[in-house]
Every structure is written in C-alpha cells, then in structure tokens.
Amino acid sequence: MTSLDVGTAEAVEGANAAVAMDDVMQKIAEHKGCGTSGGSGKASCGSGAGQGDLPTEIWEKVKNHPCYSEEAHHHYARMHVAVAPACNIQCNYCNRKYDCANESRPGVVSEKLTPEQAAKKVLAVASTIPQMTVLGIAGPGDPLANPEKTFKTFDLISRTAPDIKLCLSTNGLALPDHVDTIAGYNVDHVTITINMVDPEVGAKIYPWVFWKHKRYTGVEAAKLLTDRQLQGLEMLTERGILCKVNSVMIPGINDKHLVEVNKAVKSRGAFLHNIMPLISAPEHGTVFGLNGQRGPSAQELKALQDSCEGEMNMMRHCRQCRADAVGLLGEDRSAEFTTEKIMAIEVDYDLESRKAYQEKVEEERVAKVAAKQEELATLAGAASDIKLLIAVATKGSGLINEHFGHAKEFQVYELSTSGAKFVGHRRVDLYCQGGYGDEDSLETVIRAINDCHAVFVAKIGGCPKNDLIKAGIEPVDQFAHEFIEKSAIAWFKAYLDKVNSGEIEHQERGDAEIRQGALINAA
C-alpha cells in the first residue's frame, strides 16, 4: 500500500450537475441517430426517467452502470481487478513507484492479481455484494499493454458470471489493435484517457511512449498517441461500444485546450466526458508533483466542466478511484477482499438471488423516481429565482440514511423550482470516531459544506446541531430514511413558503461557487 491510500483521489470536486438520467437518455438517443444534429448535444427524442422510447439494448447498457449514469451510481456498485501492471506510456502525473495518483485508473493497488485470482475475487465480491454489476480493468498499468492477462480475466468471468458487465480503461495507444477482441468479449463500455489532441500540448504531458518496439519522445510521441487514441475511439463507436473520455485538467498546460478535446471526442461519438482535476503533490514523486505543477481550484474545474456541458454530457460524480476499488462509488470495500480472504471464501455464485436482489433495487429506484415526480408536481406553478445547495448524508439507495457523524462524504444537490439536481460530492473525514465528537473534524465538515443552506441527515447529535446552526447551515433530520430528492423538494417548498410569507429572508451562502477541495487530508 502506498501513501496514496484508499480513495484519497476522489477529487472531482466543485462538481455541479452530474449526468442526470434524463440527459443520459437524450444523449443515448442522439448516439443512436435519432436525435437532432444541433450543437447542444441534446436530442429531440430523449425520454424521461425510464426506458421510454430507447432501444432496449442501449438502456440495458447504462441503467445499472454506476460510472456511466449518475442516477445508477446511488444504487449499483463496481469493482476493479488489478491484473494489468505493465504500461506502454509515461505520464508526468504518474510515478510507477507509487503508481498513478490521477485518473479513474490510478495505479494505486494493494496487490496485483493473476487472472485466476481476479476471477475468484469477482465471484466472491458478487456473492457478497449483489448490487455489484460492473467489473472494470483499469490498471494499475494499462489493460491493453497486458492484453493476455486482461482478456484471460474477461474470459474467465464471462463464463462464470455472465451477468456482470465488463469494462476497461485505457490510454488508447494499443487500442486500435484490440478493438475486435474487445467487441468479441462483449465489453460494452470503454474509457479512454485523452488529455490533448495537439501534440505540442501532449509533449508537456507525456515524456515518452513505447510503440512497435521503439521508445518515442517529445512531439513525435504525442502525435502517435493522439492519432491512435482518436482512431481507437472512432473504431469503438462504429461498433456501438459506449465510450467515456477521461481528461486530467492540468492548469497552464491543457486547461484551455480541453475545450478542443471535448469537441474532438464529441464529433467522434464519445458518450460522456469526465474532466478530472490533476492531483499533484511532491510526495507523490511525479514529475508534476516535484516541479510544483498545481492542480486546478474547484472554481476552475467547474468553469471548464460548465463550458463543455453545452456540447455533451459531463460526468461529475467521478471519485477517481483506485485500480482495485470495490463497492459503491463513494465507498471502498477493497480491504474486505484481499487475496488471502477471498481464497478462504466458499463461493456460491447464485445468479437467481442476484437477479432477485437487483429486481428489488429496481423497484426502489422506480419508487424513488415516482416519489420525486409526485413531489415535483406540487412545486408546479411556484415561481422563484432562488437556487440553493443542500448537503445529504447517505449510504446509497437514494435515501437519507446516514448519521451526520458517520458520513465520509456528503452528496450535494442544487434545489430550484425545477427540482433537485445532483451536483457533486464533498469528501470529509470521519467526524465521529469512536462515538463522540471532535471539534476540529466538525469544522472540517462545516468548511466542506459551507455553501449549503441545509444538511439532511438520518440522525445528528445535539452539539454538532448547534454548531451547524451557528454556522448558518440548517440541520434537517425530519426526513430520516426517506428519499433524498422527494424530501429535498418538500423542504424547498416549505422554504419558499417561509420566504414568501416574510418569515425568513433568503440569503446567499457566501460564495456558492467555491467548492472545498476534496483532498482535505492530502494523501
């Protein structure tokens, strides 16, 4: 285990407006050719929260993939298996001694696995966590620089756990050579990390690439990489494979340029764009860490994401997780599934009970959407320009079901008369450790959600309650174990009523645009 520990990399902060299911559906519709060709990226035949008029096979691809659907990430879990240690390029934000700190394929792992160990682990996790629906191979190197290990793993898993979706995340250099094999294993989600489409920019990010038995450097290397990435992207989208593009935002190097990247990948059929902040510190031992290259501020990140959002859907719920992460996106249960532990687990892979469990999840999800729609209807006609943020303590399932003091992160929703919209997450350290409060930690939490008007929790103690009120944040525990969006809308309606009656005066919460950096205690 390196100093870059569990989930410390979840820094996509300042996230505003994640990929709402409706938007995703619209995007898919366009992806399938039934949308308009307008520049907005929004299709004319997009559907509502359900399958609507979407082709079933596309709906099946995204409805339970936590990375491709913000809405799904509240309900479904993923896991990564670290079977691919080798890499074929060098990035200035990665140090293989400590592994890669950035990206959703960061190389941080506790142990490497053989394909056979990985297959066993997948079965063990799938039997323990029935909502685990997605298996990704994301490193710690590049999956396609280790093609035998990667495809052997897919082969073993597709035989024993045919209901699990397979995906991989690559730098794209070797991608064109493997597209047919990827399609052959029914891998229907591929993420490509594309940080530039201009080799001059690329030369500042990639010192070298290794291709066809030769190390290339400088602009030549970056040209090779960008050509191969874009070719691979086109080949995948031609085959109907959904592609997400990850980009690391590096201020002064590719920040402005990422708008060009966004256009280039959109025009080649990419489904989703995930712009993540550079994570950079000297202790990571990376070129950028050592030369003082900074990461973006939350405001800079949000501004860039916003400027690209008109063009295509932006992922805002990424936690930049480890190459061996297990669980819902906001959690990491990898420590429960070490090789030693999984080898001792008697696996009873029961497809039927997994199915039954997931059917229950779907029921819950439908109920959640219905509750939200019902509550939203009561907002109809309310006219107000007020927009505000709330923080929610949740363990998942779209419910307010976490104790304030146990929350490791808060999910943030933006409320307006058009409803409740997921706009990101704030990681906080455990406020409550050992059952009693700790003042410094409480201050940390308050700083992290300082732009929120209220915090919704399942339960909260008297002391933190008073401190939150003093800080101007209303603690709300009356909706314990109820649906987040429905409760938030109900609360917002009451808030508007109080404003309209003159009982309270609406005040902006400081600078609502400022987001606390996610790395409160930097790795």
Partner 1 sequence: MTLKIIASQCTSCSACEPECPNVAITEKNGTFVIDPKKCTECIGHFDAPQCAAVCPVDNTCVIDNAYPRYQAPA
* Least gap, CB of 215 to partner 1 (angstroms): 4
DSSP string, 70-117: TTGGGT-EEEE---B---SEE-TTEETTTEE-SSSS----S----HHH
* Least gap, CB of 98 to partner 1 (angstroms): 9
In terms of CB distance, is 46 or 139 closer to partner 1?
139
Site for partner 1 in 211-250 (CB under 8 A): 213-215
Beta-carbon count within 10 A of 380 CB: 7
Mapping DSSP to helix (H, G, I), strand (E, B) and coil, where does residue 398 land? coil
In angstroms, the Cα distances linking 436 to 86, 439, 458, 462 are: 45, 10, 17, 11
In terms of CB distance, is 169 or 313 closer to partner 1?
169
The rounded distance, in Å, linking the Cα atoms of 192 and 159 is 26
Sequence-ordered list of residues with C-beta below 8 angstroms from that of 106, at least 6 positions apart, any chain: 4, 9, 99, 100, 139, 140, 320, 321, 322, 323
* Least gap, CB of 518 to partner 1 (angstroms): 27
Is 287 one of the binding residues for partner 1 (CB under 8 A)?
no
Positive or negative, the CA dihedral 340, 341, 346, 351 is negative
Choosing from 90, 117, 229, 441, the residue that interacts with partner 1 (CB under 8 A) is: 90
Burial class (CB in 10 A: 0-12, 13-18, 19+), 69: buried
DSSP class of residue 207 equals S
Q: How far is CA 303 from the centre of its chain?
A: 18
Site string for partner 1, 194-213 (x = CB under 8 A): ----------------x--x
Contact 412, 399 (CB under 8 A): no
Choosing from 64, 69, 88, 229, the residue that interacts with partner 1 (CB under 8 A) is: 88
The rounded distance, in Å, linking the Cα atoms of 71 and 16 is 14
* Least gap, CB of 100 to partner 1 (angstroms): 10
Site for partner 1 in 99-128 (CB under 8 A): 112
Q: Which part of the chain contacts partner 1 (CB under 8 A), choosing from 89-97, 156-164, 192-200, 418-426?
A: 89-97
In terms of CB distance, is 141 or 296 closer to partner 1?
141
Q: Which part of the chain contacts partner 1 (CB under 8 A), choosing from 85-93, 198-206, 229-237, 374-382?
A: 85-93
In terms of CB distance, is 101 or 389 closer to partner 1?
101
Contact 324, 101 (CB under 8 A): no
Q: Which part of the chain contacts partner 1 (CB under 8 A), choosing from 47-55, 118-126, 141-149, 169-177?
A: 141-149
Q: Which secondary structure element, helix H or strand E, spans residue 137, and what is its range?
A: strand 132-137
The rounded distance, in Å, linking the Cα atoms of 400 and 260 is 39
In terms of CB distance, is 78 or 149 closer to partner 1?
149
Which of 112, 108, 65 shows the shortest CA–CA distance to 329? 65
* Least gap, CB of 498 to partner 1 (angstroms): 59
In terms of CB distance, is 32 or 96 closer to partner 1?
96
In terms of CB distance, is 84 or 235 closer to partner 1?
84
Rg of the Cα atoms in the chain: 22
Choosing from 41, 46, 66, 85, the residue that interacts with partner 1 (CB under 8 A) is: 85
Choosing from 34, 45, 49, 86, the residue that interacts with partner 1 (CB under 8 A) is: 86
If you count them, how many residues does the chain have?
Answer: 523
**Beta partners for 272?**
244
In terms of CB distance, is 10 or 99 closer to partner 1?
99
In terms of CB distance, is 94 or 249 closer to partner 1?
94
Contact 72, 66 (CB under 8 A): yes
Is 87 one of the binding residues for partner 1 (CB under 8 A)?
yes
Burial 181-192 (b: 16+ CB within 10 A, else e): ebbebebbbbbb
* Least gap, CB of 284 to partner 1 (angstroms): 14
Contact 377, 370 (CB under 8 A): no
Choosing from 82, 145, 233, 407, the residue that interacts with partner 1 (CB under 8 A) is: 145
Choosing from 3, 34, 96, 376, the residue that interacts with partner 1 (CB under 8 A) is: 96
The rounded distance, in Å, linking the Cα atoms of 506 and 503 is 10
In terms of CB distance, is 159 or 214 closer to partner 1?
214
Is 146 one of the binding residues for partner 1 (CB under 8 A)?
yes
- The residue count for binding partner 1 (CB under 8 A) is 16
* Least gap, CB of 148 to partner 1 (angstroms): 8
Choosing from 14, 46, 115, 141, the residue that interacts with partner 1 (CB under 8 A) is: 141
* Least gap, CB of 85 to partner 1 (angstroms): 4
In terms of CB distance, is 96 or 509 closer to partner 1?
96
Residues that bind partner 1 (CB under 8 A): 85-88, 90, 96-97, 112, 140-141, 145-146, 210, 213-215
